[in-house]
Structure 1
Amino acid sequence: MNAPGQLKEKPLPGGLSIVECEIPQPQLNRFLYQLVGEDWNWTDLNAWTNAEWQALVEQDCHRTWVAYLRGAVAGYYELYRPDGVNTEIRYFGLAPQFVGQGFGGALLSQAIRSAWGWAGTQRVWVHTCTFDHPSALSNYKARGFEVYREALG
């Protein structure tokens, strides 16, 4: 996505709130990664040490938001922008009990708005693979993303 105007927004449903974690907490990011990713076989960071999590989340180029519904963690997203201009939605997803309730498009819309709201962003991008929800790619496209590259393996 190369311009904020490309966003095809889905509004937040009533009761869903999204809050930025302004004070980095590596243990929280580890928990969110496992909560959201467990059902999708996200395992690449399971072996990370606390120091590796800390090194990631304490960078100025890394930010985290958590979605809540009635006090429960409904999902989260992380933005990562090491070059100062290209913002990646690094991790994004819903907690298992909230999948299929129509929250994904709204959470993604908020992630995209957050990315464009980060001063200096010139492009927003996300990657997906077969380890994500089967509707992930269609959600990305519905929000205005264009496929840049497809790869096998």
Structure 2
Amino acid sequence: MSNVTVTTWSLEQTTPTDLLPAIAPAGDVRIVRAEVPSPEFSRFLYASVGGDIRWTDRLGWSYERWQELLAKSGVETWVAYDRGTPAGYVELDPQDDGVVEIAYFGLIPAFRGRRIGGHLLSYGVARAWDLAERLPERAGTKRVWLHTCSKDGEHARDNYLRRGFRLFDTEVTQETEVAAPGPWPGARAV
């Protein structure tokens, strides 16, 4: 296997007014919180969105590890549906001191390029900012952050910047190149 250079960008918003919402796409696109913790559904979203862009860190997780993540106080999964079909998701992971990480965000390949991503990201970031309204024991959000890398979709970083995120760190590393696993074992990457 060969090495590949990977650039990782960390971006943040420090006030709700930083959010620059995207225009909602045409058609029947809805965003709904997955309120019932479901390791099966969460793994489906993770593998389906990240299969062609080399998301591999969670593929080996056990059912119990998925349950543990989903049971963590404040973790939320917001799912975009296009005419009833899951199109993508955003996962919020609250941290200490009023910080919320956008842990995962993306669209299933068939739904990319249809203006759903900017809308879903806008909605997810707004939910990160108002997380305390759904989690009374939590203080208000003071910062929303995420990271993206050169292995993600070609428009990912630009989408974050258009939504009002600012770059605060850049890291360049060498990683062993891994073949894109596709949405399930044995599937062909798109």
**Structure 1 length-normalised TM:** 0.96
- Superposed CA RMSD in Å reads 1.0
Match of 1:74 in 2: 87
Q: Distance in 1 between matches of 2:161 and 2:23?
A: 16
Given the alignment, which residue of 18, 21, 28 partners 1:6? 18
Q: Which runs of 5+ in 2 are unaligned?
A: 1-12, 133-139, 174-190
- Map 1:20-99 onto structure 2 (within 5 A): 20-83=33-96, 85-99=98-112
Query: Does structure 1 residue 108 correspond to structure 2 residue 128?
Result: no
SS of structure 2 residue aligned to 1:144: coil
- In the alignment of these two chains, the number of paired residues is 153
Deviation at 1:82, TM superposition (A): 2.8
Q: Which one of 136, 141, 150 corresponds to residue 161 of structure 2? A: 141
Instruction: Find 1:125's aligned residue among 128, 140, 145.
Output: 145
- Indicate if the aligned counterparts of 1:61 and 1:84 stay in contact, CA closer than 8 A: no
- 1:64-118 C-alpha deviation (Å, 9 max, x unpaired): 1111011111110100013151101100000110111121111110011110111
* Greater radius of gyration (CA): 2
Structure 1: gaps of 5 or more residues: none
| 3-state SS in 1 of match to 2:48 | helix
What secondary structure is seen at the aligned counterpart in 1 of 2:105? strand
Identity %: 44
The ranges of structure 1 where at least 4 consecutive aligned residues each deviate by more than 2 angstroms after the TM superposition are none
SS at match of 1:100: coil
Deviation at 1:62, TM superposition (A): 0.8
SS at match of 1:134: coil
